[in-house]
Amino acid sequence: MVAIADDTDAPRAVPPAATRWVTAIRRNPTIATGAVLLAILVSLAILAPWLTTDPLKQATINRLRPPSERVWFGTDQFGRDIFARTLHGARVSLVVGLTVAAISSVIGLALGIVCGYFRRIDGVVMRVMDGIMAIPSILLAIALITLTRPGLAVVIIAIVIPEVPRVVRVVRSVVLSIRAQPYIDSAIAGGTRGVKLLTRHVLPNTLAPLIVQATYICAAGMLIEAALSFLGAGVPPEIPSWGNIIAQGRSFFQIAPWTILIPGAFLALTVLAVNLMGDGLRDRLDPRLARRM
């Protein structure tokens, strides 16, 4: 018998890097838009100390100045530079968003796999998750923060707890469908051990939906942080964050709308960028929605 040759896909010619980038962007415009926006925001946040002046420096002579050549985004009621405050606020938002997404993904992944695979534990853990989901996340976060000293770490933990059940649910349902797949039976029939089966065969297959879910949690995390800071329950006022900048500008909204509009616009833009990436990744990673190239 002859070897079965299948010459339809002989070694493909590799196009130059530039062409590949152009095609990648054309095929996934949503991911590209989100990624570019996010990249700009991240670099602004990282470079904030070099691009701006001290966000806490008060200059009461210059208070409530509208945006101008000298102060790009204007100043607040204490004469603090809104440009500096907004860029420094971006650091808080992004750190909170990314950390919340990372921590809740890891915890949720572990719990989700355990629930999906060990059916005895499933009932108990999922009821606890349902319980957590029943509590409004902002309320839970405020309660947790009131119990402790305010700080970035507390804010992150307070946001992670209500987000974990969302990840657990997604991962658990994916694991339930994966464990019914023939390749799992096949791996067991090949003598694969339990732990290996989970890490090698189940876990990698849950990653695509998990990544998508993580982007949404990142966006939600930033919004909740802003809401908490706005309510005064978030990061302490000496750390500028979009939420507390808006909160402080609230009383002067009618005479100095830029104190609210600018950090608000940044928040909206950042959440939009992350959600665009999430949507794009979902379309790209979900085999049922993926367009055939």
Partner 1 sequence: MTNILEVRDLATHFFTLDGVVRAVDGVSFDLARGETLGIVGESGCGKSVTALSILRLIPPETSRIVGGSVRFDGRDLAALSEAEMRTIRGHHIAMIFQEPMTSLNPVLTIGTQIAENVVRHTGVPWRAALERAREMLDLVKIADARRRIDEYPHQLSGGMRQRAMIAIALSCNPQVLIADEPTTALDVTIQAQILDLMLELKEKLDTAIVMITHDLGVIAETTQRVVVMYAGRKVEEAPVEALFAQPTHPYTRGLMRAVPRLDAEAEIAGRRPRLQEIPGIVPALNRPIAGCAFAPRCTFATERCRAEAPPLVTTSAGHAVACWETARVLEAA
Whole-angstrom Cα distance, residue 14 to residue 8?
16
Q: What is the C-alpha to C-alpha distance for residues 198 and 228, in angstroms, rounded to an integer?
A: 38
* Residue labelled with tokens 């750190």: 95
Q: Which is nearer to partner 1, 8 or 254 (CB)?
A: 8
Does 289 engage in binding with partner 1 (CB under 8 A)? Answer: no
Site membership for partner 1, residue 292 (CB under 8 A): no
Alpha-carbon 163 to chain mean position: 11
Smaller CB distance to partner 1: residue 146 or 186?
186
Residue number with CB closer to partner 1 (96 or 212): 212
Binding test (CB under 8 A) with partner 1, winner from 14, 61, 189, 293: 189
Rounded to the nearest whole angstrom, what is the least distance from the CB of residue 209 to partner 1 in the complex? Answer: 13
**In this chain, which of 12, 61, 182, 291 binds partner 1, going by CB under 8 A?**
182
| Binding residues for partner 1, total number by CB under 8 A | 27
Q: Is the C-alpha dihedral spanning 230, 152, 164, 136 positive or negative? A: negative
Q: Does 16 bind partner 1 (CB under 8 A)?
A: no
Instruction: Using the minimum distance from each CB to partner 1, give the nearer residue, 5 or 61.
Output: 5
CA distances from 126 to 114, 158, 159, 167 (A): 11, 20, 19, 12
Dist. CA 161–CA 219, nearest whole Å: 15
Our finding on whether 69 is near partner 1 (CB under 8 A) is no
Among 80, 166, 169, 201, binds partner 1 (CB under 8 A): 201
**Which residues have a Cβ under 8 Å from the Cβ of 133 and sit 6 or more positions away?**
162, 165, 166
Beta carbon of residue 105, minimum distance to partner 1 (angstroms, whole number):
18
Based on the number of CB atoms within 10 Å of its own CB, is 17 exposed (0-12), middle (13-18) or buried (19 or more)?
exposed
Phi, psi of 230 (to 5 degrees): -60, -40
Which of 3, 13, 61, 195 forms a contact with partner 1 (CB under 8 A)?
Answer: 3
Nearer to partner 1, 89 or 116 (CB): 116
What does the binding site for partner 1 look like in residue numbers (CB under 8 A)? 1-6, 9, 11, 119, 181-183, 185-193, 196, 200-201, 204-205, 207
